[in-house]
Protein backbone atom coordinates (compact mmCIF):
# COMPACT_ATOMS: atom_id res chain seq x y z
CA UNK A 1 0.00 0.00 0.00
CA UNK A 2 1.11 3.51 -0.11
CA UNK A 3 3.27 4.65 2.69
CA UNK A 4 4.53 6.83 -0.07
CA UNK A 5 4.43 10.52 0.32
CA UNK A 6 7.69 12.31 0.74
CA UNK A 7 5.98 15.65 0.47
CA UNK A 8 3.40 17.39 2.58
CA UNK A 9 4.82 16.37 5.90
CA UNK A 10 2.79 18.89 7.80
CA UNK A 11 -0.95 18.70 8.14
CA UNK A 12 -1.24 21.83 6.05
CA UNK A 13 -2.90 21.91 2.66
CA UNK A 14 -0.12 23.44 0.63
CA UNK A 15 -0.18 22.66 -3.08
CA UNK A 16 -3.27 20.50 -2.97
CA UNK A 17 -4.62 20.28 -6.52
CA UNK A 18 -8.40 20.75 -6.58
CA UNK A 19 -9.03 17.08 -7.40
CA UNK A 20 -6.98 15.87 -4.45
CA UNK A 21 -9.23 15.43 -1.41
CA UNK A 22 -8.09 17.20 1.74
CA UNK A 23 -7.47 14.04 3.75
CA UNK A 24 -4.98 12.59 1.29
CA UNK A 25 -1.37 13.64 1.30
CA UNK A 26 -0.47 12.65 -2.23
CA UNK A 27 -2.15 11.78 -5.53
CA UNK A 28 -0.68 8.27 -5.23
CA UNK A 29 -2.42 7.72 -1.93
CA UNK A 30 -5.73 8.89 -3.36
CA UNK A 31 -5.41 6.74 -6.48
CA UNK A 32 -4.38 3.66 -4.48
CA UNK A 33 -7.32 4.17 -2.12
CA UNK A 34 -9.76 4.50 -4.99
CA UNK A 35 -8.38 1.38 -6.64
CA UNK A 36 -8.46 -0.70 -3.47
CA UNK A 37 -11.95 0.58 -2.70
CA UNK A 38 -13.14 -0.40 -6.14
CA UNK A 39 -11.62 -3.88 -5.98
CA UNK A 40 -13.21 -4.36 -2.60
CA UNK A 41 -16.52 -3.27 -4.03
CA UNK A 42 -16.09 -5.80 -6.84
CA UNK A 43 -15.52 -8.46 -4.17
CA UNK A 44 -18.88 -7.60 -2.65
CA UNK A 45 -20.46 -7.71 -6.12
CA UNK A 46 -19.10 -11.19 -6.72
CA UNK A 47 -20.48 -12.37 -3.41
CA UNK A 48 -23.77 -10.63 -4.18
CA UNK A 49 -24.07 -12.75 -7.31
CA UNK A 50 -22.82 -15.81 -5.44
CA UNK A 51 -26.28 -16.45 -3.99
CA UNK A 52 -27.76 -16.79 -7.45
CA UNK A 53 -24.91 -18.95 -8.69
CA UNK A 54 -25.40 -21.09 -5.61
CA UNK A 55 -29.12 -21.49 -6.31
CA UNK A 56 -28.25 -22.32 -9.91
CA UNK A 57 -25.68 -24.93 -8.86
CA UNK A 58 -27.95 -26.58 -6.29
CA UNK A 59 -30.92 -26.89 -8.63
CA UNK A 60 -28.83 -27.90 -11.61
CA UNK A 61 -27.01 -30.53 -9.56
CA UNK A 62 -30.26 -32.00 -8.28
CA UNK A 63 -32.46 -31.50 -11.34
CA UNK A 64 -30.24 -31.42 -14.45
CA UNK A 65 -33.13 -32.42 -16.72
CA UNK A 66 -35.01 -29.17 -16.01
CA UNK A 67 -32.01 -27.15 -17.09
CA UNK A 68 -31.56 -29.22 -20.20
CA UNK A 69 -35.20 -28.64 -21.13
CA UNK A 70 -34.96 -24.98 -20.25
CA UNK A 71 -32.01 -24.15 -22.45
CA UNK A 72 -33.99 -25.11 -25.57
CA UNK A 73 -36.00 -21.97 -25.04
CA UNK A 74 -32.97 -19.71 -25.18
CA UNK A 75 -31.52 -18.53 -28.46
CA UNK A 76 -27.83 -19.44 -28.51
CA UNK A 77 -27.13 -17.20 -31.50
CA UNK A 78 -28.49 -14.16 -29.69
CA UNK A 79 -26.64 -15.13 -26.51
CA UNK A 80 -23.36 -15.50 -28.39
CA UNK A 81 -23.92 -12.19 -30.15
CA UNK A 82 -24.53 -10.52 -26.83
CA UNK A 83 -21.35 -12.08 -25.47
CA UNK A 84 -19.41 -10.65 -28.39
CA UNK A 85 -21.03 -7.24 -27.94
CA UNK A 86 -20.15 -7.17 -24.28
CA UNK A 87 -16.58 -8.29 -24.98
CA UNK A 88 -16.29 -5.51 -27.52
CA UNK A 89 -17.55 -3.02 -24.96
CA UNK A 90 -14.97 -4.29 -22.50
CA UNK A 91 -12.29 -3.80 -25.11
CA UNK A 92 -13.37 -0.22 -25.84
CA UNK A 93 -13.56 0.45 -22.11
CA UNK A 94 -10.00 -0.83 -21.58
CA UNK A 95 -8.96 1.31 -24.52
CA UNK A 96 -10.71 4.25 -22.90
CA UNK A 97 -8.76 3.78 -19.69
CA UNK A 98 -5.59 3.74 -21.79
CA UNK A 99 -6.65 7.02 -23.42
CA UNK A 100 -7.30 8.52 -20.00
CA UNK A 101 -3.88 7.42 -18.79
CA UNK A 102 -2.27 9.07 -21.78
CA UNK A 103 -4.40 12.20 -21.58
CA UNK A 104 -6.08 11.61 -24.95
CA UNK A 105 -9.37 13.39 -24.36
CA UNK A 106 -10.82 12.81 -27.81
CA UNK A 107 -9.92 9.13 -27.72
CA UNK A 108 -11.50 8.80 -24.29
CA UNK A 109 -14.75 10.38 -25.49
CA UNK A 110 -14.88 8.14 -28.56
CA UNK A 111 -14.17 4.92 -26.69
CA UNK A 112 -16.62 5.72 -23.91
CA UNK A 113 -19.31 6.47 -26.47
CA UNK A 114 -18.57 3.18 -28.19
CA UNK A 115 -18.86 1.39 -24.84
CA UNK A 116 -22.20 3.05 -24.21
CA UNK A 117 -23.47 2.03 -27.64
CA UNK A 118 -22.41 -1.58 -27.02
CA UNK A 119 -24.20 -1.55 -23.69
CA UNK A 120 -27.37 -0.30 -25.36
CA UNK A 121 -27.10 -2.95 -28.08
CA UNK A 122 -26.71 -5.57 -25.36
CA UNK A 123 -29.84 -4.38 -23.62
CA UNK A 124 -31.69 -4.24 -26.95
CA UNK A 125 -30.86 -7.86 -27.73
CA UNK A 126 -31.76 -8.84 -24.17
CA UNK A 127 -35.07 -7.06 -24.64
CA UNK A 128 -35.93 -9.06 -27.76
CA UNK A 129 -35.08 -12.26 -25.89
CA UNK A 130 -37.24 -11.29 -22.91
CA UNK A 131 -40.06 -10.26 -25.25
CA UNK A 132 -40.40 -13.76 -26.68
CA UNK A 133 -40.62 -15.21 -23.17
CA UNK A 134 -43.14 -12.59 -22.16
CA UNK A 135 -45.37 -13.34 -25.13
CA UNK A 136 -45.55 -16.97 -24.10
CA UNK A 137 -46.14 -16.16 -20.44
CA UNK A 138 -42.84 -17.68 -19.37
CA UNK A 139 -41.92 -15.07 -16.74
CA UNK A 140 -42.62 -16.31 -13.20
CA UNK A 141 -45.22 -14.09 -11.58
CA UNK A 142 -46.01 -12.50 -14.92
CA UNK A 143 -49.64 -12.04 -13.97
CA UNK A 144 -48.54 -10.01 -10.95
CA UNK A 145 -46.44 -7.73 -13.13
CA UNK A 146 -49.25 -7.33 -15.65
CA UNK A 147 -51.66 -6.50 -12.85
CA UNK A 148 -49.39 -3.58 -11.97
CA UNK A 149 -50.10 -2.20 -15.44
CA UNK A 150 -53.81 -2.80 -15.13
CA UNK A 151 -54.00 -5.98 -17.21
CA UNK A 152 -56.73 -8.31 -16.01
CA UNK A 153 -55.33 -11.65 -14.86
CA UNK A 154 -56.16 -14.43 -17.26
CA UNK A 155 -54.91 -17.81 -18.41
CA UNK A 156 -53.44 -20.69 -16.45
CA UNK A 157 -53.96 -20.73 -12.70
CA UNK A 158 -56.09 -17.61 -12.35
CA UNK A 159 -59.26 -17.49 -10.33
CA UNK A 160 -61.76 -14.79 -11.39
CA UNK A 161 -61.87 -11.98 -8.88
CA UNK A 162 -58.66 -13.08 -7.16
CA UNK A 163 -55.28 -11.36 -7.62
CA UNK A 164 -53.01 -12.91 -10.21
CA UNK A 165 -51.22 -16.01 -8.95
CA UNK A 166 -47.52 -16.18 -8.15
CA UNK A 167 -45.32 -18.67 -9.90
CA UNK A 168 -44.85 -20.00 -13.40
CA UNK A 169 -47.97 -20.25 -15.59
CA UNK A 170 -46.72 -20.51 -19.15
CA UNK A 171 -48.54 -20.80 -22.43
CA UNK A 172 -48.60 -24.56 -22.04
CA UNK A 173 -49.28 -25.48 -25.68
CA UNK A 174 -46.34 -23.49 -26.90
CA UNK A 175 -44.00 -24.93 -24.30
CA UNK A 176 -45.12 -28.51 -24.90
CA UNK A 177 -44.76 -28.08 -28.64
CA UNK A 178 -41.27 -26.68 -28.20
CA UNK A 179 -40.23 -29.52 -25.90
CA UNK A 180 -41.63 -32.06 -28.35
CA UNK A 181 -39.56 -30.57 -31.17
CA UNK A 182 -36.46 -30.64 -29.02
CA UNK A 183 -37.08 -34.30 -28.20
CA UNK A 184 -37.58 -35.15 -31.85
CA UNK A 185 -34.31 -33.48 -32.72
CA UNK A 186 -32.58 -35.48 -30.00
CA UNK A 187 -34.16 -38.63 -31.46
CA UNK A 188 -36.41 -39.54 -28.55
CA UNK A 189 -38.81 -42.36 -29.51
CA UNK A 190 -42.35 -42.02 -28.26
CA UNK A 191 -44.12 -45.25 -27.38
CA UNK A 192 -47.38 -44.16 -25.75
CA UNK A 193 -48.55 -40.73 -26.91
CA UNK A 194 -50.95 -40.03 -24.02
CA UNK A 195 -48.33 -40.84 -21.39
CA UNK A 196 -45.81 -38.75 -23.30
CA UNK A 197 -48.18 -35.78 -23.53
CA UNK A 198 -48.78 -35.86 -19.77
CA UNK A 199 -45.05 -36.08 -19.17
CA UNK A 200 -44.42 -33.10 -21.43
CA UNK A 201 -46.97 -31.03 -19.54
CA UNK A 202 -45.31 -31.95 -16.28
CA UNK A 203 -41.91 -30.98 -17.69
CA UNK A 204 -43.38 -27.67 -18.84
CA UNK A 205 -44.45 -26.93 -15.27
CA UNK A 206 -41.03 -27.83 -13.89
CA UNK A 207 -39.45 -25.24 -16.20
CA UNK A 208 -40.51 -22.66 -13.63
CA UNK A 209 -37.37 -23.48 -11.67
CA UNK A 210 -35.17 -22.80 -14.68
CA UNK A 211 -36.88 -19.58 -15.66
CA UNK A 212 -37.00 -18.34 -12.09
CA UNK A 213 -33.22 -18.60 -11.92
CA UNK A 214 -32.77 -17.41 -15.50
CA UNK A 215 -34.70 -14.20 -14.94
CA UNK A 216 -33.08 -13.54 -11.57
CA UNK A 217 -29.57 -14.00 -12.95
CA UNK A 218 -29.99 -12.15 -16.24
CA UNK A 219 -32.28 -9.57 -14.67
CA UNK A 220 -29.81 -8.73 -11.94
CA UNK A 221 -27.08 -8.63 -14.56
CA UNK A 222 -29.19 -6.30 -16.72
CA UNK A 223 -29.68 -4.00 -13.71
CA UNK A 224 -25.90 -3.91 -13.39
CA UNK A 225 -25.60 -3.05 -17.10
CA UNK A 226 -28.01 -0.17 -16.56
CA UNK A 227 -25.99 1.04 -13.56
CA UNK A 228 -22.91 0.77 -15.76
CA UNK A 229 -24.56 2.89 -18.44
CA UNK A 230 -25.30 5.55 -15.84
CA UNK A 231 -21.72 5.45 -14.54
CA UNK A 232 -20.21 5.60 -18.02
CA UNK A 233 -22.46 8.51 -18.94
CA UNK A 234 -21.22 10.27 -15.81
CA UNK A 235 -17.54 9.88 -16.69
CA UNK A 236 -18.26 10.69 -20.33
CA UNK A 237 -19.71 13.99 -19.18
CA UNK A 238 -16.66 14.64 -17.05
CA UNK A 239 -14.39 13.70 -19.96
CA UNK A 240 -16.19 16.18 -22.20
CA UNK A 241 -15.59 18.82 -19.55
CA UNK A 242 -11.93 17.87 -19.64
CA UNK A 243 -11.75 17.02 -15.96
CA UNK A 244 -9.31 14.13 -16.37
CA UNK A 245 -5.60 14.23 -16.86
CA UNK A 246 -2.73 11.74 -16.78
CA UNK A 247 -2.41 12.68 -13.09
CA UNK A 248 -6.08 12.18 -12.28
CA UNK A 249 -8.17 9.54 -14.00
CA UNK A 250 -9.20 7.32 -11.07
CA UNK A 251 -12.96 7.64 -11.83
CA UNK A 252 -12.39 6.33 -15.36
CA UNK A 253 -10.29 3.51 -13.97
CA UNK A 254 -12.91 2.55 -11.38
CA UNK A 255 -15.88 2.69 -13.71
CA UNK A 256 -13.79 0.61 -16.11
CA UNK A 257 -13.20 -2.01 -13.44
CA UNK A 258 -16.92 -2.12 -12.70
CA UNK A 259 -17.76 -2.50 -16.37
CA UNK A 260 -15.28 -5.34 -16.80
CA UNK A 261 -16.87 -7.13 -13.85
CA UNK A 262 -20.27 -6.87 -15.52
CA UNK A 263 -18.63 -8.45 -18.56
CA UNK A 264 -16.95 -11.09 -16.41
CA UNK A 265 -20.27 -12.17 -14.91
CA UNK A 266 -21.81 -12.47 -18.35
CA UNK A 267 -18.87 -14.59 -19.47
CA UNK A 268 -20.05 -17.17 -16.92
CA UNK A 269 -23.78 -16.66 -17.45
CA UNK A 270 -23.60 -17.36 -21.15
CA UNK A 271 -22.33 -20.96 -21.00
CA UNK A 272 -24.25 -21.74 -17.81
CA UNK A 273 -27.62 -20.73 -19.23
CA UNK A 274 -27.35 -21.06 -23.01
CA UNK A 275 -24.87 -23.86 -23.56
CA UNK A 276 -26.26 -26.79 -21.63
CA UNK A 277 -25.51 -30.14 -23.08
Partner 1 sequence: MQHETSHVNDAHHYDDHAAGVHVVPLQVLAGIFVALLALTYVTVAVTSIDLGSFNLWIALGVATVKGALVVLYFMHLRYDSPFNSIVFITAFVFLFLFLGIVIMDSVAYQPAVYELTPTP
Partner 2 sequence: MATTTQTWEPTQSPAAAPDNYLTHTRGITSWIFTLDHKRVGIMFLVSVTICLGLGAFFALTIRTELTHPGPTILTDTTAQLVSKLTLSNTQLTPQQMYNRAFTLHGAVMIFLFVIPAIPSALGNFVLPLQLGAKDVAFPRLNLFSYHLFVIGTVFFLLTLMLGGVDTGWTFYAPYSVETSTAVATAVVGAFILGFGSIFTGLNFLVTVHTLRRRGLTWFQMPLMVWSLYATAIIQLLATPVLAITLVLLLVERLFGVGIFDPALGGDPVLFQHFFWFYSHPAVYIMILPAMGIVSEVISVHSHKHIFGYRMIAYSSIAIALLGFLVWGHHMFVSGQSALAGMVFSALTFSVAIPSAIKVFNWVATMYKGSIAFTTPMIYAMIFIFLFGLGGLTGLFLGALATDIHVHDTSFVVAHFHYQMAGGVLIAFICGVHHWWPKMTGKMYNETAGRIVALVILVGFNLTYFPQFIIGSHGMPRRYFDYEGMLDQIPHLTLYQIISTVGGYMFVGGLIAIPIYLLHSLKKGRPAPDNPWGAATMEWQTSSPPPWDNFTKLPAVTDPYDFDHLKYDETTQGYVTTP
Residues in contact with partner 1 by the rule CB under 8 A: 1-2, 4, 27-28, 30-32, 35-36, 39-40, 42-43, 46-47, 50, 53-54, 57-58, 61-62, 76, 80, 83-84, 87-88, 90-91, 93-95, 97-98, 101-102, 246-247, 250, 256-257, 260-261, 263-264, 267-268, 270-272, 275-277
Contact residues for 140 (Cβ-Cβ < 8 A; gap 6+): 166, 167, 168, 208, 211, 212, 215
At its nearest, how many Å lie between partner 1 and the CB of residue 79?
9
| 217 contact choice in partner 2, partner 1, none (CB below 5 to 8 Å, kind-dependent) | none
- The 3-state DSSP class for residue 248 equals strand
Contact residues for 243 (Cβ-Cβ < 8 A; gap 6+): 19
At its nearest, how many Å lie between partner 2 and the CB of residue 21?
8
Phi, psi of 26 (to 5 degrees): -135, 160
| 220 contact choice in partner 2, partner 1, none (CB below 5 to 8 Å, kind-dependent) | partner 2
Q: Site residues for partner 2, window 208-267 (CB under 8 A)?
A: 208-209, 212-213, 215-216, 220
Q: Site residues for partner 2, window 23-82 (CB under 8 A)?
A: 23-25, 29, 32-33, 36-37, 40-41, 43-52, 54-55, 58-59
Q: Site residues for partner 2, window 93-152 (CB under 8 A)?
A: 139-142, 144-145
46: number of Cβ within 10 Å: 13
At its nearest, how many Å lie between partner 2 and the CB of residue 159?
15
- Pick from 268, 262, 272: nearest CA to 86: 262
Q: Alpha-carbon distance 65 to 69, whole Å?
A: 6
At its nearest, how many Å lie between partner 2 and the CB of residue 39?
10
For residue 65, give the DSSP letter.
H
Closer Cβ to partner 2, 8 or 104, answer by number: 8
Paired with 248 in beta bridges are: 245
Phi, psi of 10 (to 5 degrees): -75, 170
| 216 contact choice in partner 1, partner 2, none (CB below 5 to 8 Å, kind-dependent) | partner 2
- Pick from 11, 37, 35, 36: nearest CA to 25: 11
Amino acid sequence: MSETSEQNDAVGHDEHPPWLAHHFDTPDQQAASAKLGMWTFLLTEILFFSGLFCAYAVFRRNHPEIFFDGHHFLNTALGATNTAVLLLSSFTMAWGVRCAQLGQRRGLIVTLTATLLCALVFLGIKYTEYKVKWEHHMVPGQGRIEALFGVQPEGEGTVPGEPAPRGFHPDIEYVVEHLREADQEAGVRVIAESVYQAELEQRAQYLGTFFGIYFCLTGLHAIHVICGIIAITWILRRAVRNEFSPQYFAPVDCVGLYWHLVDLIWIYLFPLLYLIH
